[in-house]
Every structure is written in C-alpha cells, then in structure tokens.
Amino acid sequence: MTTALITGSTAGIGAAFARRLAADGHNLVLVARDTKRLQDQATELHDRHGIEAEVLTADLATDPGIEAVADRLSDRRSPVDLLVNNAGFGSKGRYLDVSMADELKMLKVHCEAVLRLTSAASEAMRERGRGGVVNVASVGAFVPRGTYGASKAWVVQFTQGAAKDLAGSGVRLMALCPGFVRTEFHQRAGMGTDNIPGWMWLDADKLVAAALGDLAHGKTLSIPDPRYKALMALVKVAPRGLLGEVTSRTGRKYGPQ
C-alpha cells in the first residue's frame, strides 16, 4: 500500500485529492492547521475506504510547521510515495493594499514551504527510485497579477525545472494549474465571486482526476480543462501590456486566482 501526504487536505482541492486517493486505496497523511477538522476527515476516510489516515497539524507559514512536515517526508521507516503541495490562500486587494506581513506569509506558504517540502520528499523518493510530487499552482501563474500570480509562477518554473533535473530518477514532479474552483478560497480571502461567469468554474473532483491522469502520463505541467487550455493558449500570444491592463482592471476581487 502506498502513502500520500496532502497539505491543505481539509477543504477544497486538497479535500478532493484526499477523497480520490483514499478511494484508490492509498494511506494518507493529512496536513492543515485545524486539528479537529483533520481528525474528523481522517476518521471519515478511514471508515469509508478502510485506509490509514494520519493527522499532522502544521502551519506552513511558520518554520516549525514546515519542519514538522519535512521531517515526516524524510522518515525512511514510513515512506511517502506521493506529495501534494496544495495549501494556499488568496489576498483581496491590489499591490500596496495588502499588508507586507500577508505578502510575506504568502511567499512562505506558496514558495518556501513548497521548496522545502518538495526537496525533503524528492530526496527520499530518489533513494527509492520512485515517487511523485504535485505542486498546486494556478492559471494565475501566466498573467501579471501581484504576489499571488508571481508566487504561482515560481511554483510552475521551480517544479518544471526540478522535474527536468530529476528526469530518469523515478521521481515525477508536476505543477497543477487550476482555473476557478468552488472551494473556501474566495470566501476566506473575502473576495466576491458573483461576477465570475458560470462556465469558468471547475469541479474539484474532476480537476483532481484529470491531474492524477496527467501525472501518470509523465506531464510536468497540468492545465486540466479544455476551456482553460484554450484561454492559456490565447494568453501566450496576447501582448504583455494588454494582458496587464486586463488583469489589473479585473482587480483582485473577481479575477482568476
């Protein structure tokens, strides 16, 4: 039986990964800050699917939190076969509207934690000659969009670069770039979603199924929906200035996260 560790497992996309991986028979290590919610989730997944689900309470905006998860990933006696770096959050407001403390916290969770956890997992996986890492980025990585977009662009570049460096080692790394997904994300950030057209919303369970399929096929970048694939193809050829104009006009309230 294999084991998957998911950060931000208790809600949204992380919870969809947990449901799907448990249904497929993987043991789980569930990571988030809310211990009660983690315990309830572990019990439910154990009872429904007969898998073992460990709970690891950690705040990935802190050094001790990152270290606790890195230590679990480095534990050679209880190996982790798949890491899903999913924990993340949005901030409402444009550049200079968001406090410096929140900007730095975002970089800690989206970049530093992802770097340190990917590295801890990849080292152990390389020794065993197999394993996978999914780093959840965003289609926001491809448009000029403040610290959120920049942090997700880092996730994409870092993951694809590391995947290249580890090619042939048996360790697969993939950046996952969702469009809008109905989760707790927008509500937690205090963002309105009324102006987002219905066709732009993705289903978390379908997103996860497509992402795991892409990982199995050895992709290093997954944009798991034809609508967003087409949009991102347009973004690639659109003039950078125009893109910046459109994404800045949309504001941080309603634009793609």
Ligand X SMILES: NC(=O)c1ccc[n+]([C@@H]2O[C@H](COP(=O)([O-])OP(=O)(O)OC[C@H]3O[C@@H](n4cnc5c(N)ncnc54)[C@H](OP(=O)(O)O)[C@@H]3O)[C@@H](O)[C@H]2O)c1
Write down the catalytic residue from 95, 148, 228, 254. Answer: 148
Residue 142, Cα to own-chain centre: how many angstroms?
16
**Which one, 188 or 217, has the nearer CB to ligand X?**
188
92 near ligand X, judged by CB under 6 A? no
Q: Is 228 tagged catalytic?
A: no
Could you tell me the smallest distance in angstroms from the CB atom of residue 46 to ligand X? 18
Tell me the two tokens of residue 141. Answer: 């990585």
Q: What mask, x for binding ligand X by CB under 6 A, covers residues 55 to 74? A: ---xxxx-------------
53 near ligand X, judged by CB under 6 A? no
Per CB under 6 A, which region of 4-12, 71-79, 231-239, 246-254 contacts ligand X? 4-12
Q: Which long-range contacts (CB under 8 A, 24 or more apart) does 186-193 make?
A: 186/90, 186/257, 188/89, 188/90, 189/89, 189/90, 189/91, 189/92, 189/257, 190/92, 191/90, 191/92, 191/252, 191/253, 191/254, 191/257, 192/253, 192/254, 193/254
Q: What mask, x for binding ligand X by CB under 6 A, covers residues 98 to 137? A: -----------x--------------------------x-
Could you tell me the smallest distance in angstroms from the CB atom of residue 84 to ligand X? 10
- Tell me how far apart the alpha carbons of residues 182 and 207 are, in angstroms, rounded to a whole number: 11
Q: What mask, x for binding ligand X by CB under 6 A, covers residues 9 to 28? A: xxxxxx--------------
Q: What mask, x for binding ligand X by CB under 6 A, covers residues 170 to 209? A: --------x-xx-xxx--x---------------------
Burial class of residue 64 in the structure, from the number of CB atoms within 10 Å of its CB (0-12 exposed, 13-18 middle, 19+ buried): exposed
- Tell me how far apart the alpha carbons of residues 44 and 10 are, in angstroms, rounded to a whole number: 12
**Which one, 126 or 182, has the nearer CB to ligand X?**
182
Could you tell me the smallest distance in angstroms from the CB atom of residue 155 to ligand X? 8
DSSP 109: I
Per CB under 6 A, which region of 2-10, 17-25, 213-221, 222-230 contacts ligand X? 2-10
Number of Cβ within 10 Å of residue 127's Cβ equals 14
Count Cβ neighbours within 10 Å for each residue of 172-207 and write b for 16 or more, e otherwise.
Answer: bbbbbbbbbbebebbeebebeeeebeeeeebebeeb
Most distant CA pair in the chain, distance: 53
Site residues (vs ligand X, CB under 6 A): 7-14, 32-34, 37, 58-61, 86-89, 109, 136, 138, 178, 180-181, 183-185, 188, 257
Q: Which residues are catalytic?
A: 148
